[in-house]
Copies of this chain bind each other. A is one copy, B any other.
């Protein structure tokens, strides 16, 4: 896992807890809330404290191993693997659709051209309605 290397490079120690949390995010591959991560962590390693989880998430985010996004009113975490992609999250059923990165390229360029603004496009989460839910409405 790249984050192990990244942590070392940045001078952080590699503890079982940190490895665990990175694993959880990587294994599930989903957007997890802090609460969910705490639950998973304590299941796999009884005794881990939530404060450790919070501290580790901050650390991993700062190290660029993990992305924090907003879904509705809550923050979720997702591992940052090579080969960026974005997510479309349905606000009705909660389903997540992965989406190719290059769809955002035109927008990125327009914003740079028209406003000189350089958008963060590392890991975008957009909300909306998925195909199924859009039909129902």
Q: Count A-side interface residues using an 8 Å CB cutoff.
A: 31
Q: Tell me whether A91 is interfacial, beta carbon within 8 Å.
A: yes
Q: Return 24 A-B CB contacts under 8 Å, by A number.
A: A70-B70, A88-B117, A88-B119, A90-B117, A91-B120, A97-B115, A97-B117, A99-B114, A99-B117, A100-B114, A104-B107, A106-B106, A106-B107, A115-B131, A116-B130, A116-B134, A117-B128, A117-B129, A118-B129, A118-B134, A119-B128, A120-B126, A120-B127, A120-B129
Q: Tell me whether A6 is interfacial, beta carbon within 8 Å.
A: no
Nearest residue (CB) in B for A134 is B118
Contacts of A106 in B (CB 8 A): 106-107
* Chain A 15-39 near chain B by CB (<8 Å), digits 1 or 0: 0000000000000000000000000
